[in-house]
Amino acid sequence: MKPLLLHPTNWKDYSLIDSGNGKKLERFGNFLFSRPEPQALWSPRLSLKEWEKSSGVFLSSSNPLNEDANGKWSFKEHLPLKWEMEYGNIKFFATPTPFRHLGFFPDQSPHWLWASKKIQSLIKIHDKNYSPKVLNLFAYSGLASLHAAYNGASVTHVDASKKAINFAFENRNLSSFQHLPIKFITDDAIKFVKREIRRENRYDGIILDPPKYGRGPNGEIWDFFNDLPILLKLITQILTPKPIFIILNSYAIRSSHLSLHFALNETMKGFSGKVESGELSIVEDQEDPRQINTAIFARWEQ
């Protein structure tokens, strides 16, 4: 079993500039940011002067290499609260969050491109008026939803956070995608899927990017290790007879991609198709670039 190593391509508004000494220097639009990165065990290649051009630095409150540690941003005065970015035909806002990231994950773009090909292939099998149904659970700020809808899918976008749903609305409007078939729903993932089973709603594709821990809109508790197996058993009941893809991505656990591979393989054993798995990474924008793992994933295709 050969793991896939995927990294973002064709980005004009994002790049990994440098890394080292437990940090990474990234460009988001016209702004540079320095964030902790436990995997950067090497030395930076750029000078301290270049790193000091950062518009924002994330300062951990305890061990900077502990990804679960709390912290805060230190900004220069000229940095706006949010600014526009784009990837392909979608536009969205970048904004620093208390969770170290900037409101989206550029390393997931290989999944968006892969899913769009599956969506377009299914449309060709039917006709140009057919709209494959895609469910995006733990959908956050909506870039995967926007990309799928732009490529012809009818998308149900579900997140437990009203703030995240509002963020996704903003990104949809910025992209002028109000006309596309996207339903935004604030709900607990497991409760939503159970209701879809009762309603006999079915999906051609499912995107999953669950957190390690989380809370639903009514205080429901999500725990990755306890609840993901439950959710995976449920989603087979909301698939069409011939589904086209499932994407399971995780930033939540530092583990091998094999854990997700065999979990998804067992989930889809009643369907023909195959599972592939591996890691997402970001790659430095320089000669002899180094790579940093960001997430593990498994994905199934018909």
Sign of CA dihedral 112, 114, 117, 123: negative
Q: What is the pLDDT of residue 71?
A: 87
Q: Which of 124-128, 159-163, 189-193 has the lowest mean pLDDT?
A: 124-128
**Minimum mean pLDDT range among 19-33, 96-110, 242-256:** 242-256
Of the chain, the percentage scoring pLDDT greater than 90 comes to: 89
- Could you read off the pLDDT of 14-58 as tens digits, one per residue? 999 999 999 999 999 999 999 999 999 999 999 999 999 999 999
Predicted structure pTM score: 0.94
In sequence order, what are the residues at sequence separation of 6 or more whose Cβ sits closer than 8 angstroms to the Cβ of residue 105?
A: 143, 251, 294, 295
In the CATH scheme, what is the code of domain 106-301?
A: 3.40.50.150
CATH superfamily of 4-94: Golgi alpha-mannosidase II (2.60.40.1180)
**Residue spans per domain, the chain:** 4-94, 106-301
